[in-house]
């Protein structure tokens, strides 16, 4: 199977490049499943129901998120209504929404998407490792799941790498999100799980992690803000990770970082 994960969609420019690229890439690469992290899609903070429907209509199968999922208050009831929109799995019991999406691809094979949130340098919530372990036990790869993805939304590279090693051999892909910068460590781990510490963002890289430059620089210089951050609106780069899995085991056969358009050097599968 072929799975494409697109990193954090940043504001209007990020939405534009995702809506432009996903339909073309689905057809060109024969993708079986597409996942997008959408937690910054609405003005750089959160997501709305309208944006979700736009992504679904473009060919996105599942939207993951992170700590900013709560920023747009209107999305909270939608989290209970729409199983294809995830919030991190390891929020406490009783929080709206779902952290796992289990469905069937067009050919009938089971796909499981897990969204987890790190705790290092972030809000302290429930343990992501034990939460993920329960899902890996519930959906064993190669038995109940033909494809299993973990989006590890975290600040610390060490925590993301630890999740990759923790799930090695039990997931098709463990990929980090949140940092907005694509890392150069795409690999297949020893037991067969594809891994990349951060997929990067779908957004304008002439920015400070997707925001217009002036206000972040001012805050670093003076320690106080003058105004709200605003998403950069220049040409976006589509950043993500493409994985091809083994049909029998569900483990990765190939992993390729994807960069299309904008300011970053292009990278496509050979």
User: Could you tell me if residue 121 is left (phi over 0), alpha (psi between -120 and 50 degrees) or otherwise beta?
Assistant: left
The residue from 68, 153, 178, 180 that is catalytic is: 68
Q: Which two tokens stand for residue 35?
A: 């996942």
How, if at all, do strands 2-6 and 33-37 pair? parallel
> Could you confirm whether 98 is annotated as catalytic?
no
Calpha distance 67→61 (Å, rounded): 21
Picking from 203, 195, 193, the residue whose alpha carbon sits closest to that of residue 17 is 203
Query: Among 246, 212, 210, 244, which residue's Cα sits nearest to residue 226?
Result: 212
> How far apart are alpha carbons 16 and 19 in whole angstroms?
5
Q: What residues are annotated to the active site?
A: 68
């Amino acid at each position: 199977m072929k799975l494409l994960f697109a990193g954090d969609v940043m504001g209007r420019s990020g939405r534009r490049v995702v809506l432009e690229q996903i339909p073309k890439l689905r057809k060109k690469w024969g993708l079986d499943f597409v996942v997008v992290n959408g937690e910054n899609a609405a003005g750089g903070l959160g997501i709305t129901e309208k944006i979700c429907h736009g992504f679904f209509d473009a060919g996105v199968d599942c939207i993951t998120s992170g700590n900013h999922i709560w920023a747009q208050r209107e999305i909270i009831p939608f989290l209970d209504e729409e199983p294809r929109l995830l919030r991190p799995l390891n929020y406490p019991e009783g929080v709206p929404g779902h952290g796992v999406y289990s469905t069937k691809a067009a050919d009938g094979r089971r796909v499981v998407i897990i969204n987890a949130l790190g705790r290092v340098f972030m809000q302290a919530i429930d343990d992501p490792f034990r939460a993920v372990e329960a899902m890996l036990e519930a959906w064993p790869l190669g038995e109940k799941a033909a494809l299993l993805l973990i989006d590890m939304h975290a600040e610390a590279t060490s925590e993301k790498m630890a999740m990759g090693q923790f799930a090695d051999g039990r997931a098709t892909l463990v990929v980090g999100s949140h940092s907005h910068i694509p890392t150069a460590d795409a690999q297949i781990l020893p037991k067969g799980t594809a891994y990349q510490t951060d997929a990067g963002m779908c957004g304008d890289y002439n920015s400070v992690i997707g925001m217009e430059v002036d206000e972040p620089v001012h805050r670093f210089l003076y320690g106080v803000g003058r105004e709200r951050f605003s998403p950069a609106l220049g040409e976006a780069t589509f950043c993500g990770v493409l994985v091809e899995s083994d049909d029998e085991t569900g483990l990765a056969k190939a992993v390729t970082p994807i960069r299309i358009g904008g300011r970053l050097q292009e990278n496509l599968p050979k």
